[in-house]
């Protein structure tokens, strides 16, 4: 069986909780290297997942025989490290966001194309069975023309987590924040389901300016919030189809659907995590006498985690005829939305979008 040699860059919380256990079980992945600036983290990951090679320097790992770099460093480091990996001739799958702005994203896309390399970018929400089912429902006309959608992707921030194992300060510094940490998931889903957005407007600011770290090595630390922690976005998809997204570090708890689509003939609700039925559909068809909510039976669906994007990219590397769902072009469009949302909020106007995917 053909396998791809994988090197994981960054051995923090997300690596240990999701990516490393996921990659270690993939049939076409050979997890051969881990790299982290903190040697103890890399060594611990190596021991836990039986990884033969440990590095504390990316350039040393890039000189090894890995085929694919999975980049799990903090957001602010993604562009520089992704570019180094591509320039070394390695395929790349990057956690979100894979670049800091549209210009950087374009540099990475062109570098990958020039070298005939695969570049995959989180968030991999369009590989989720729930989103694939929604896509099928929308394409079949189950709720008619979509008029608007609502998506919630907020919590109270990593500093408030009870079992965080690293210093969360970077989440509240320029280049990070809830929009690129959380809102990116909702934006990938909405644009993946409704297509590229045409314009954006937003409200954004700092609502809770000082945070106290609740757990981990930085417990008790006071963090000055340097990036907006409360952002509300509206998108125009054309033909009077709109969407609203909240992306904040100001929500302790929420009840109700995580995402909803409203159409000329009905509605779709993505229910709370852990609900018996993840999807519900409302239809009002007086000709057929159909009216009311129906919980959908999803049946046995393949498991989906953040690491599903890595598995998908490996499949695409092994079979170049496959289309990359987690494309860098899609991620670049989301980056443009986020960049222009902040500008729209500051200038109190609606801004057209230029990128496509």
Residue 228 binned pLDDT confidence (cut-offs 50, 70, 90): very high
Residue 237 binned pLDDT confidence (cut-offs 50, 70, 90): very high
The predicted pLDDT at position 276 comes to: 84
Residue 85 binned pLDDT confidence (cut-offs 50, 70, 90): very high
Q: What is the pLDDT of residues 93-145, one digit of tens each?
A: 999 999 999 999 999 999 999 999 999 999 999 999 999 999 999 999 999 99
Owner of token pair 């999701």: 18
Q: Rounded mean pLDDT of 346-353?
A: 98
Q: Rounded mean pLDDT of 16-21?
A: 96
The predicted pLDDT at position 284 comes to: 83
Q: What is the pTM of this model?
A: 0.94
Mean pLDDT, the chain, rounded, equals 96
Q: Is the pLDDT of residue 286 over 80?
A: no
Rounded-to-integer distance, Cα 284 and Cα 103, Å: 46
The predicted pLDDT at position 241 comes to: 98
Q: Is the pLDDT of residue 272 over 90?
A: no
| Domains of the chain and any CATH numbers | 4-124+306-326 (3.40.50.720), 126-302+335-352 (3.30.360.10)
Residue 24 binned pLDDT confidence (cut-offs 50, 70, 90): very high
Please tell me the number of Cα atoms within 13 Å of 214 on its side-chain side. Answer: 9
Rounded-to-integer distance, Cα 50 and Cα 3, Å: 17
The predicted pLDDT at position 273 comes to: 82
Position with higher pLDDT, 354 vs 303? 354
Residue 278's beta-bridge partner residues? Answer: none
Q: Is the pLDDT of residue 275 over 90?
A: no
Token readout for 228 is 């907006």
Query: How many C-beta neighbours within 10 Å does residue 133 have?
Result: 19
Q: Rounded mean pLDDT of 248-260?
A: 95
What are the DSSP calls for 145-159, one per residue? SEEEEEEE---S-GG
Lowest mean pLDDT among 131-140, 252-261, 277-286: 277-286
Token readout for 248 is 């904040």
Of all residues in the chain, the percent with pLDDT exceeding 70 is 100
Q: Rounded mean pLDDT of 249-277?
A: 93
Q: Is the pLDDT of residue 165 over 90?
A: no
Rounded-to-integer distance, Cα 170 and Cα 176, Å: 7
The predicted pLDDT at position 346 comes to: 97
Lowest mean pLDDT among 132-146, 210-224, 293-307, 320-334: 293-307
Q: Is the pLDDT of residue 289 over 80?
A: no
The predicted pLDDT at position 288 comes to: 75
Q: What is the pLDDT of residues 315-343, one digit of tens each?
A: 999 999 999 999 999 999 999 999 999 99
Token readout for 346 is 């500051």
The predicted pLDDT at position 338 comes to: 98
Residue 223 binned pLDDT confidence (cut-offs 50, 70, 90): very high
What are the DSSP calls for 40-97, one per residue? HHHHHHHHHHT-SEEES-HHHHHTSS-SEEEE-S-GGGHHHHHHHHHHTT-EEEEPSP
């Amino acid at each position: 069986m053909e396998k791809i040699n994988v090197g994981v860059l960054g051995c923090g919380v997300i690596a240990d909780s999701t990516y490393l256990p996921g990659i270690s079980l993939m049939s076409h992945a050979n997890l051969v290297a881990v790299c982290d600036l903190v040697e103890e983290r890399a060594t611990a990951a190596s021991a836990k997942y039986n990884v033969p090679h440990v590095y504390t320097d990316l350039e040393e790992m890039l000189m090894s025989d890995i085929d694919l770099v999975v980049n799990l460093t903090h957001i602010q480091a993604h562009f520089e490290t992704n570019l180094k990996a591509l320039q070394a001739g390695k395929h790349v799958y990057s956690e979100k966001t894979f670049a800091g702005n549209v210009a950087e994203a374009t540099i990475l896309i062109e570098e990958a194309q020039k070298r005939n390399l695969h570049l995959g970018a989180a968030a991999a929400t369009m590989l989720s069975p729930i989103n694939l089912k929604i896509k099928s429902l929308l394409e079949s006309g189950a709720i008619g023309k979509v008029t608007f959608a609502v998506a919630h992707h907020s919590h109270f921030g990593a500093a408030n987590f009870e079992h965080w194992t690293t210093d969360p300060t970077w989440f509240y510094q320029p280049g990070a924040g809830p929009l690129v940490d959380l809102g990116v998931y909702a934006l990938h889903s909405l644009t993946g389901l409704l297509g590229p957005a045409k314009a954006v407007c937003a409200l954004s600011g700092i609502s809770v300016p000082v945070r106290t770290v609740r757990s981990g090595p930085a417990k008790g630390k006071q963090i000055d919030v340097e990036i907006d922690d409360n952002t509300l976005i509206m998108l125009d998809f054309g033909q009077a189809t709109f969407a609203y997204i909240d992306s904040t570090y100001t929500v302790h708890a929420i009840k109700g659907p995580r995402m909803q689509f409203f159409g000329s003939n009905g509605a779709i609700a993505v229910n709370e995590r852990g609900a018996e039925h993840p999807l519900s559909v409302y239809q009002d068809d007086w000709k057929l006498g159909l009216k009311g909510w129906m919980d959908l039976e999803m049946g046995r669906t393949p498991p989906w985690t953040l690491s599903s994007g890595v598995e998908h990219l490996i499949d695409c590397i092994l079979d170049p005829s496959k289309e990359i769902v987690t494309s860098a072009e899609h991620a670049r469009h989301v980056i443009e939305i986020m960049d222009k949302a902040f500008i729209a909020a500051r200038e109190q106007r609606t801004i057209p979008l230029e990128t496509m995917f």
